[in-house]
DNA sequence: ACCTGAACACCGTTCAAGT
DNA sequence: ACCTGAACACCGTTCAAGT
């Protein structure tokens, strides 16, 4: 029963095996492969080939690990290149933030963590307010618009059909659509009217539709730069 | 050590003690008092003065209990009275749905449950599509608008500062604001410019701002019924 | 300083047994 | 039919002990 192959647990992990970086990397790997619910301190320790209590030398608790994971994923944000106009920059910023959330859906799940605002979020907000200021939007409208946009992006990312590797079940969006289709047509004629006459409407199209609607107010208030 | 007062556990619960209704009611009470995370089958059984395994006679698993809780809370939806115009009805429907989610924040947490569309949701969607149809909005725009509105409402409800009885921590919204204020002003001038010049902007004002922006497209497309 | 072993107080779920 | 007791396979976390 002694160690024979490399896949058998070693007797004792050497000194420098663990640090915050490798723990976070292993946690992200588990989350991306099997989902946030599959991340346990025991499983994480197993992946790192140490006992679970070794983790507590590097993090005070599991929540601290999750905060570090969120920080690491937020750092993946790609700030868009400066655009032709502030209106275009505004759109590019929102799209990039949306992209970050749908590429790393666990960030949505971790949104309720008591966690300081990430560097990424601060930079995005700063850039958004800067654009709106240059477009001549007053403080009140700028704050209301940025707040509305955040809510819209969060809701859109939450409903986005992230094809999780680890689960068979379809996303919120697809389930919703499928179930609406099974409702009795005689009681829900308007729903069926729309569903039957609308074969294709992607999440991206929906997102762009709402984004443009929310930004129309800006184009109206600040001088628009015509079509681009 | 035998039973002395009414608060000591009884020896054995009589036959008809449990049914789906009382279990769901007790679950809702725990969730509203201490939050969803505080709901365990053990605690639920304790509140009902039975052993935890008795619950499995009435529900196959905990998820089934949560689905029943969601159904019960969805039934609290108040369909608004028919409004003066379809435009007003549209707004009343969205506001009522938002109100349902912020009055019962656990519905947002339970949104990802694999659960059939509730009667409430179907009725709201049916009413929304009906309004849009009468306003002359085509299928594509109607579907895109309803989808955008759903995402906006979900995001708004998620960020809403529900003053949970059971937790001290401020809401997402308040934490976010407070933390933005602590950022270094020299690196984030636009953020501070807005924060300093904006003493009061309530969640309701933000919600209304985004709602009007999203519905502007409707007012533009379908004939608007002037101001009301 | 860093990793381990054993223990603690929790989970959700099962199943044979009682009534 | 409905409720119970004991058990199973999990959690996150602690702490004294090893190296």
Give me the CA A123–C1' C5 separation in Å, rounded: 46
Residue of A nearest to B212 (CA): A214
> How long a stretch of residues is chain B?
228
For residue B218, the model assigns a pLDDT of 82
A179 touches chain B (CB under 8 A): yes
Phi/psi at A118 (nearest 5 deg)? -75, 155
For residue B9, the model assigns a pLDDT of 55
B202 touches chain A (CB under 8 A): no
Q: Can you tell me which residue has the tokens 């995370």?
A: B37
Per-residue pLDDT tens over the stretch B82-91: 999 999 999 9
Q: In a 10 Å sphere around its CB, with 0-12 CB exposed, 13-18 middle and 19+ buried, how is residue B77 labelled?
A: buried
Q: What ranges in chain B are assigned the alpha helix state H?
A: 20-34, 41-48, 62-74, 86-103, 106-109, 119-134, 139-159, 172-181, 189-196, 203-221
Nearest to B67 by CA among B114, B35, B20, B105: B114
Q: Output the six-digit token pair for A94.
A: 């929102």
Closest nucleotide over all strands to B13 (CA to C1')? D3
CA A10 – CA A81 distance, rounded (Å):
48
Per-residue pLDDT tens over the stretch B118-152: 999 999 999 999 999 999 999 999 999 999 999 99
For residue B168, the model assigns a pLDDT of 65
Decide if pLDDT at B219 tops 70. yes
Of residues A84 and B114, more confidence is placed in A84
Half-sphere exposure of B207 (CA within 13 A, CB side): 24
- Write the DSSP symbol of residue B12: S
- Write the DSSP symbol of residue A2: -
A210 touches chain B (CB under 8 A): yes
Question: Are B144 and A209 within 8 A, CB to CB?
Answer: yes
Instruction: Report yes or no: B87 and B219 within 8 Å, Cβ to Cβ.
Output: yes
CA A223 – CA B160 distance, rounded (Å):
32
DSSP for B48-95? HTS-GGGGGGT-SSHHHHHHHHHHHHHTT--PPPP-SSHHHHHHHHHH
Per-residue pLDDT tens over the stretch B22-48: 999 999 999 999 999 999 999 999 999
Q: Can you tell me which residue has the tokens 């946009």?
A: A149
CA B26 – CA B105 distance, rounded (Å):
17
Interface test with B, best of A105, A111, A175, A213 (most B CBs within 10 A): A213
Residue B184: CB atoms within 10 Å: 9
Residue of A nearest to B121 (CA): A180
CA B84 – CA B91 distance, rounded (Å):
11
Question: Are A140 and B183 within 8 A, CB to CB?
Answer: no
Q: Is the CB of A18 under 7 A from strand C?
A: yes
Residue numbers in B 13-72, CB below 7 Å of strand C: 39-43, 52-53, 56, 60-63
Give mean pLDDT in consecutive 10-residue pieces for chain A, a chain of 228 residues.
44 92 98 96 98 98 98 97 95 98 96 85 96 94 96 95 67 81 94 83 94 88 46
Q: Can you tell me which residue has the tokens 């501070």?
A: B192
CA A164 – CA A105 distance, rounded (Å):
9
Chain D nucleotides close to protein (CB under 7 A) are 2-6, 10-16, 19
Instruction: Report yes or no: A120 and A73 within 8 Å, Cβ to Cβ.
Output: no
Closest nucleotide over all strands to B11 (CA to C1')? D4
CA angle B94, B98, B100 (to 5 degrees): 120
Per-residue pLDDT tens over the stretch B150-165: 999 999 999 997 666 6
Per-residue pLDDT tens over the stretch B166-188: 776 667 777 888 889 999 999 99
Per-residue pLDDT tens over the stretch B58-98: 999 999 999 999 999 999 999 999 999 999 999 999 999 99
For residue B2, the model assigns a pLDDT of 35
Closest residue, CA to C1' of C18: B12
- Which residues does chain A have within 8 Å of residue B169's beta carbon, measured at their own beta carbons? 114
For residue B3, the model assigns a pLDDT of 35
For residue B108, the model assigns a pLDDT of 95
For residue B165, the model assigns a pLDDT of 67
Closest nucleotide over all strands to A16 (CA to C1')? C2
A191 touches chain B (CB under 8 A): yes
């Amino acid at each position: 029963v002694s160690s024979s192959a490399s896949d058998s647990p070693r007797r004792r992990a050497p000194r420098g095996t663990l640090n915050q970086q490798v723990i976070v990397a292993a946690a992200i790997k588990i989350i991306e492969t099997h989902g946030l619910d599959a991340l346990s301190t025991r499983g994480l320790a197993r992946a790192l080939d140490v006992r679970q209590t070794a983790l507590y030398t590097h993090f005070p608790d599991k929540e601290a690990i999750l905060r570090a994971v969120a920080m690491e994923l937020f750092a993946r944000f790609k700030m868009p290149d400066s655009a032709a106009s502030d209106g275009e920059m505004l759109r590019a910023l929102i799209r990039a933030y949306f992209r970050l959330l749908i590429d790393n859906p666990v960030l949505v799940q971790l949104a309720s963590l008591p966690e300081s605002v990430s560097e990424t979020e601060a930079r995005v907000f700063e850039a958004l307010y800067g654009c709106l200021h240059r477009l001549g939007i007053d403080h009140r409208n700028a704050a209301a618009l940025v707040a509305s946009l955040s809510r819209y992006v969060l809701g859109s990312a939450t409903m986005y059909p992230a094809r999780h590797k680890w689960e068979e079940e379809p996303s919120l969006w697809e389930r919703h659509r499928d179930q609406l289709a099974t409702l009795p047509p005689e009681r829900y004629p308007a729903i069926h009217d729309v569903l039957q006459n609308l074969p294709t409407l992607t999440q991206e199209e929906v997102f762009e539709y709402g984004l443009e609607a929310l930004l129309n107010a800006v184009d109206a208030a600040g001088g628009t730069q015509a079509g681009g």
